[in-house]
Structure 1
Amino acid sequence: MRKKLPIGIDGFEKIRTNDFYYVDKTLFIKELLESWGEVNLFTRPRRFGKTLNMSMLKCFFEIGGDPALFAGLKIARERALCEKYMGKFPVISISLKSVDGLDFQAALTALKTVIGDEAGRFHFLRSSDKLTGDEKQAYAQLTEVGSSQGGIYTMTDKVAAASLKTLSKLLSKHYGQKVILLIDEYDVPLDKAFQAGYYHEMVNLIRNLLGNALKTNDSLYFAVLTGCLRISKESIFTGLNNLKVHTISDVRYDEFFGFTNADVDEMLTFYGLSSYRDVIRDWYDGYRFGDTEVYCPWDVINYCDELLADPKTMPKNYWANTSGNGLVLRLLEKADQTTKDEVEELLNGGKITKKVSQELTYRDIEDSIENVWSVLYATGYLTGRHLDQADADIFRLWIPNGEIRKLFYELVEDWFRETTWSDTERINRFCAAFPAGDIDTLQNMLGDYLWDSISVRDTAVRRNMKENFYHGMLLGLLRSQGSWLVKSNAETGEGYSDISVQTPERIGIVIEIKYADDGNLEKACDEALVQIEEKKYAEGLKRRGMKKIMKYGIAFWEKSCMVVTA
């Protein structure tokens, strides 16, 4: 029976006990043990296996874990290491992903729930003969809930801030062994707080929580934290001198987050999908972590799953649709002409040089557009490498793959539509030129819009993708007219015209768009008009009662355009 693909499953034990396909990353444990610091922070984009790796660490180290989970995996060959470390430690494992709320009190309650639930796993501490009465009471403060408060944990704010340190001390004393602390998605509460307006309060809370647990905790063996961003020490790691940070630009651990070429080849062979290797590489590969080229695991797994159900399935955006894409929109909203040119260079397959700050606070993102570039790199919207070994902050950046390029296209379209619709007088004048047959106004104004926007000229991009870009831009302009019926790729004759319009005055407009690869705009316009006639695109509009039909051929080449009418 074929193994299931683990879509949305990030628990190591569940994957290993329910016959899901697993890409073996267990040698991460060996490398961590051979080079660990007391506090280890790994920053990677979302959906690159951070949570699954943290779950794996918990299953490996925790007292009472099941060694059979690792049978047949690479780490099992390291017998001496397994004998020394497997199942030998108390483990505290929390994720701060759910610490969210409309205000600080709601987020604080969510944090107390996360900590209280984890403390509740160690219910044996209530009756441990290794703990004093005061220590048992300290444990009770972490787990007590108030019936009058709907089951909410009643721990005070002070108890919550010290909770991880307290739980470490109690577990260490009970077992006679220091504790391993795992904190997944450590920066999510700060991101959510920044968006909701209580950032300062959340910074203080996280600073106290982590400071107590990581800075002066004699019960700590080591800690591992994961997140998307490396938050500056001044923000939440004040005075923490035992922190080892591993970002996406670091060589160490580079193959343990994301899928390598070897991982993907092995998976495709296993499922009989090797013929899709090139399309998967084009769409989902291209990230660089250290010296390793990696794929986004979420994309590869989802696409393979759909291919097994329907071999004709086309690649699509999976990763880009799992979260908000506000960072790219923020970049576009702040963009001056230089930034627009840089975005255009990226969309056209080029690279840009930027100073990347590896250490930020969420407030820093708003300070300058340069910081937005840094966050786009850290969160996976861009990839890159050091440009100059003498200056570790200078990077060459580029869009990693087809999925992210398509995302950028779509967000540029959204941004362009919003900015153009805001100038109603201008856009109404442009649209009115179509039923009037005023090709001079159309061509001049469309040219102005092109200069205001971001064009696609990349020779590596297929012609139909270039046409789709301009198609989307023009469609967005026309749809500003609320009383017009504007259809895209609608069947109006024997085929599908690019754009058709019906106005309340019963004027029908057919528009065919061409991209002039050779720069010959006149030839491309002529081809568009010939296609309108040969495919009889106007016939459908006549059948719908349009009294007058306007036919337009519009050609684009980079930031140039030509408009002709039949």
Structure 2
Amino acid sequence: MSTIRKMPIGVQSFEDLRLKDFMYVDKTEFIWKLIDGSKVHFLSRPRRFGKSLLLSTFKAYFLGQKELFKGLAIEKLEEAEKGKREIWQVYPVLYLDFNIGIYDTREGLLNRLDSFLKEYENIYGSTGLDLPDRFQNLIRTAHEKTGRQAVILIDEYDKPLLQTMWKDEALNEIYRTILKGFYGVIKSADQYIRFAFLTGVTKFSKVSIFSDLNNLRDLSLLHDYSAVCGISQEELEADFQPEISTLAEKNNLTYEEALAKLKQRYDGYKFSENGKNMYNPFSLLNVFADSTMRSYWFATGTPTFLVDYLKKAYYNIPDLDGNVHLDEHGLNDYRADPILPIPILFQSGYLTIKSYNEFSRLYCLGFPNDEVRYGFLHNLMPAYTSIRPDKTGLSIWEFYEQIEAGDVDGFMQKMKGIISGIPYDNLTEKDLALREQNYQTAVYLVFALMNQFVHTEVHCATGRADCVVEFKDKVYIFEFKLSANGTAEDAAANNAAANNAVKQIKEKNYAGKYSGSGKKIIAVGSSFDEEKRTIAEWTVEIL
């Protein structure tokens, strides 16, 4: 008999989840804390992270559906308040879900807002002149008709903006104007509102969408609410023991090995400098449903526009792997700007907080886990090399097989082939540094993606070997040099550059770390031919 319980994959209704006996990680203590505290809230989290379920839980609570919360933390917390205040009260709940609707025209957004307003105007008998006026009258009328303040829940408030941000700037600006006036009502109607909660992927700058809604409490980077969505390590081990055991058994792993693999592949999202690391719930639930570890979250969306942003900004790609530094203002700069791609990467879930320096007040960002790391790098590879998107996985495996077999010439020839196709975006002869960055990015991507199969260090920095690949019996140390020579007369210069690369490996003792390991150490020095825009020569020497 299967020990796998019903996983709520794609289930966004709290009522459906509870009545149909789906697995639920109890987040209701957060619910109680929020409804008993502040009033108007905003939460930014990546897609598929449980935002819709969170709002549905608020809805069930404010509709007084006490039976759905039986056995959960909030039941005990509410009972403790009995006699002090009314508990399990029923409020008028106005729920606006932007997951519904097509937002490719101005009318698309207006129709969605009109549909939302009509739904509740039919219940409460409200009217108005325009959208903001109708919304304000609706909130007031709901309060007057029921004798209780209204609850406003808005899911994925930014979806219309995200769908037009990189496609139609004029339409995006129209959306901003419409939504700014609409959301501003939440402040002007404050006396009629019991509770409001907005969710989205991004929080746009306060000078735009939220400029009129300045009573908003942003929970996105707060320590106390860092675990409100997602699954923590403690929740994983306490709530999913049967599923972890089944996963381990079906994949010939011990229980501890299964836990370690889950952590490496799906954990690591951190939304506050002092917050808990969180697992991506969508991936984790799919793993337990299938008993197979795949890239579930990454497969649901391709970050094409983010790849384009990074290229336009000439961003140093290796920095994404744990070497991005921003202050709090930088994290909160949510503008869609190709020159500033990092805040969008953070909010979208491709980067997360890795550490925080109290003295400098700087956050260090990087990929949260292997699913995101390799998925994102896989998407970058076709943008920086000649490898087709559908051939990236095969190409990386071929690289691995060649170097593992000791075929350095085959490996370098293949590397030469993919670098020869690097696009240069019409760079001028003066842009030597950018060309070198393109070369380094291509090399970095190959080695970083090989790290799925073998331990690889990729430095690409002065004073350290560019790349190190370590097998059980051998270690490769790579150093790449750029040469501006490409004519037949200057071919010797390319050979000299490759030899100098090996010389640098020896002089700076890059092999010292491995000298006592008993492993064969192979130095590979390579030169780039700037004229032909590819690898020119390489030298191999056993140390």
TM-score normalised by length of structure 1: 0.66
1:253 maps to what in 2?
225
Q: Aligned equivalents of 2:5 and 2:289: distance in 1?
A: 11
Deviations 1:380-413 (A, max 9, x none): 1011156343665x31011110100111221122
Flag the 1:10–1:387 CA change in 2: closer, same or farther, 3 A.
Answer: same
Amino acid of the residue matched to residue 286 of structure 2? Answer: N
Matched, 1:389 2:358: yes
Flag the 1:16–1:390 CA change in 2: closer, same or farther, 3 A.
Answer: same
Flag the 1:278–1:113 CA change in 2: closer, same or farther, 3 A.
Answer: same
Deviations 1:186-243 (A, max 9, x none): 1112212324420111111101111123334421122111111121221022233321
Matched, 1:344 2:318: yes
Deviations 1:467-493 (A, max 9, x none): 9xxxxxxxxxxxxxxxxxxxxxxxxxx
Q: Aligned equivalents of 2:174 and 2:207: distance in 1?
A: 15
2:201 maps to what in 1?
228
Q: Aligned equivalents of 1:277 and 1:18: distance in 2?
A: 28
1:239 maps to what in 2?
212
Equivalent of 2:185 in 206, 212, 219:
212
Deviation at residue 293 of structure 1 after TM alignment: 0.9
Matched, 1:201 2:174: yes
The SS at the match of 1:16 is helix
Deviation at residue 98 of structure 1 after TM alignment: 2.7
Flag the 1:417–1:235 CA change in 2: closer, same or farther, 3 A.
Answer: same
Flag the 1:87–1:260 CA change in 2: closer, same or farther, 3 A.
Answer: same
Q: Aligned equivalents of 1:438 and 1:195: distance in 2?
A: 41
Deviations 1:5-37 (A, max 9, x none): 11100110000000101110000122213431x
Q: Aligned equivalents of 2:105 and 2:287: distance in 1?
A: 38
Q: Aligned equivalents of 1:74 and 1:306: distance in 2?
A: 29
2:442 maps to what in 1?
453
Matched, 1:325 2:298: no
2:262 maps to what in 1?
280
Equivalent of 1:303 in 276, 279, 287:
287
Flag the 1:443–1:412 CA change in 2: closer, same or farther, 3 A.
Answer: closer
1:263 maps to what in 2?
235
Amino acid of the residue matched to residue 475 of structure 2? Answer: D
Equivalent of 1:167 in 114, 138, 144:
138
Deviation at residue 168 of structure 1 after TM alignment: 1.3
CA RMSD of aligned residues (A): 3.5
Amino acid of the residue matched to residue 296 of structure 1? Answer: N
Q: Aligned equivalents of 2:418 and 2:234: distance in 1?
A: 48
Q: Aligned equivalents of 1:27 and 1:454: distance in 2?
A: 48
Flag the 1:519–1:27 CA change in 2: closer, same or farther, 3 A.
Answer: same
Deviations 1:347-395 (A, max 9, x none): 4xx433234524345xx32252xx2111111221011156343665x31
Flag the 1:43–1:30 CA change in 2: closer, same or farther, 3 A.
Answer: same
Amino acid of the residue matched to residue 453 of structure 1? Answer: A
Deviation at residue 286 of structure 1 after TM alignment: 0.7
Deviation at residue 114 of structure 1 after TM alignment: 3.4
Deviation at residue 169 of structure 1 after TM alignment: 1.1
Matched, 1:412 2:380: yes
Flag the 1:557–1:372 CA change in 2: closer, same or farther, 3 A.
Answer: farther
Higher gyration radius (CA): 1
Amino acid of the residue matched to residue 326 of structure 1? Answer: T
Q: Aligned equivalents of 1:419 and 1:252: distance in 2?
A: 45
Flag the 1:515–1:7 CA change in 2: closer, same or farther, 3 A.
Answer: same
2:401 maps to what in 1?
none
Flag the 1:389–1:165 CA change in 2: closer, same or farther, 3 A.
Answer: farther
> Where do 5+ consecutive residues of structure 1 fail to align?
126-135, 142-157, 308-312, 422-436, 468-513, 522-554
Q: Aligned equivalents of 1:42 and 1:443: distance in 2?
A: 44
Flag the 1:558–1:324 CA change in 2: closer, same or farther, 3 A.
Answer: farther
Percent identity of equivalent pairs? 23
Flag the 1:556–1:190 CA change in 2: closer, same or farther, 3 A.
Answer: farther
1:176 maps to what in 2?
147
Flag the 1:332–1:164 CA change in 2: closer, same or farther, 3 A.
Answer: same
Matched, 1:98 2:100: yes
Q: Aligned equivalents of 2:30 and 2:37: distance in 1?
A: 11
1:67 maps to what in 2?
66
Q: Aligned equivalents of 2:35 and 2:525: distance in 1?
A: 53
Q: Aligned equivalents of 1:415 and 1:110: distance in 2?
A: 37
Give the conservation status (yes or no) of the 8 Å contact 2:180–2:212.
Answer: no
Q: Aligned equivalents of 1:303 and 1:443: distance in 2?
A: 35
Give the conservation status (yes or no) of the 8 Å contact 2:355–2:365.
Answer: no
The SS at the match of 1:42 is strand
Give the conservation status (yes or no) of the 8 Å contact 1:351–1:397.
Answer: yes
Q: Aligned equivalents of 2:103 and 2:141: distance in 1?
A: 30
1:399 maps to what in 2?
367
Flag the 1:182–1:246 CA change in 2: closer, same or farther, 3 A.
Answer: same
Matched, 1:334 2:304: no
> Where do 5+ consecutive residues of structure 2 fail to align?
249-254, 390-408, 423-438, 458-468, 479-521, 528-534
The SS at the match of 1:396 is strand
Q: Aligned equivalents of 2:19 and 2:410: distance in 1?
A: 69
Deviation at residue 85 of structure 1 after TM alignment: 4.0
TM-score normalised by length of structure 2: 0.69
Q: Aligned equivalents of 2:276 and 2:451: distance in 1?
A: 25
Flag the 1:33–1:66 CA change in 2: closer, same or farther, 3 A.
Answer: closer
The SS at the match of 1:289 is coil
Deviation at residue 466 of structure 1 after TM alignment: 6.6
Q: List aligned pairs for 1:13-162, cutoff 5 A.
A: 13-36=15-38, 38-62=39-63, 65-78=64-77, 79-81=79-81, 84-120=86-122, 122=123, 125=124, 136=125, 138-139=126-127, 158-162=129-133
